[in-house]
Amino acid sequence: MSMKIPFFNQRQLNNSLQVSDQDTPEHIAIVMDGNGRWAKKRGLPRVAGHKEGVSTVFKIVKAAAKCNVKVLTLYTFSTENWKRPKSEVETILRLPKEFLHIYLPELISNNVRIEAIGDMDNLPAHTREAIQYAIQRTRDNDGLQLNFALNYGGRTEILNAMKKMFSDMNDSKMSLDELDEQRFSRYLYTADLPDPDLLIRTGGEKRLSNFLLWQLAYTEFWFTDVLWPDFSEKEFLQALDEFRNRKRRYGGI
């Protein structure tokens, strides 16, 4: 039985921090870091932090939708995360199914569309099936696009894009003279998406961790020491507020 949880009230958002649609980032990417440390601070196993982080995902999806963000991409499981203990990996890869079991009806009713980027073929069947089911159920929605980056690695994405590109060249589908940044971007997982305007990383670390390496070339970064399970709508809105106060010159003046 799924749980019905109302989306975050717009008046509550405005009371938390003054928000405006003007200069709202179209695409926000988030590195959801700090779950394990959150659990350790409380004497709990690391997996408890990952489970607690699921509710934060829903809070931030609600806040993003209410702020009219068009795309939200969440770094859910990286190609490097396979190095973690087997029990932790298994727990993380069960979470998409648990998240969608609880929240998918509410996401559907609020016009959220779900997609995934990464190498889905090597994920467990239960993870793939849950994601594919959600993609199918939300494919006609045209509100916020929620991307789960699963078994995702930026370098692998670029290498795979190059392989596809060279294959097309060998098949005479394109020539080297036709290649430019825009054409190359079509071979990436994010081919149909705008590059992120804002990257948020929680947990105090200040690195990309192999996330969207091509796409983040001119993205604004916002880091916070707040661990992901404690990350709230207030911090999310603070990141948006700071973004609006930055001047993006893209190499110009």
Instruction: From the candidates 9, 23, 33, 180, give the one annotated as an active-site residue.
Output: 33
Asked whether residue 35 is marked as a ligand-binding residue, the answer is: yes
Asked whether residue 50 is marked as a ligand-binding residue, the answer is: yes
Taking each helix axis from N to C end, the angle separating 233-244 and 46-66, rounded to the nearest 10 degrees, works out to 50
| 11 has pLDDT over 80 | no
pLDDT of the residue at 165: 93
Burial track 129-168 (b if 16+ CB lie within 10 A, e otherwise): ebbeebeebbeebeebbbbbbbbbbbebbeeebeeebeee
| 86 has pLDDT over 80 | yes
pLDDT of the residue at 17: 44
Asked whether residue 245 is marked as a ligand-binding residue, the answer is: no
pLDDT band at 82 (very low <50, low <70, confident <90, very high): very high
> pLDDT tens digit string along 102-130?
999 999 999 999 999 999 999 999 999 99
**Residue 122 among the catalytic residues:** no
Asked whether residue 106 is marked as a ligand-binding residue, the answer is: no
pLDDT band at 21 (very low <50, low <70, confident <90, very high): low
**Domains, the chain, with CATH or none:** 21-154+198-244 (3.40.1180.10)
pTM of the model: 0.90
Asked whether residue 101 is marked as a ligand-binding residue, the answer is: no
Residue that is written with structure tokens 């020491």 in the block: 225
| Residue 40, token pair as written in the block | 């350790």
For 212, phi and psi rounded to 5 degrees? Answer: 50, 50
Instruction: Give the containing element (helix H, strand E) for 26.
Output: none
Instruction: From the candidates 81, 147, 151, 197, give the one annotated as an active-site residue.
Output: 81
Angle at 200 between CA 135 and CA 195, to 5 degrees: 60
Worst-scoring range by mean pLDDT, 20-34, 86-100, 120-134?
Answer: 20-34
| Residue 193, token pair as written in the block | 């998406």
Rounded distance between C-alpha atoms, residue 162 and residue 176, angstroms: 12
Q: What is the DSSP string of 117-157?
A: ES-GGGS-HHHHHHHHHHHHHHTT--S-EEEEEEEE-HHHH
| Residue 34, token pair as written in the block | 């700090």
**Residue 81 among the catalytic residues:** yes
pLDDT of the residue at 103: 96
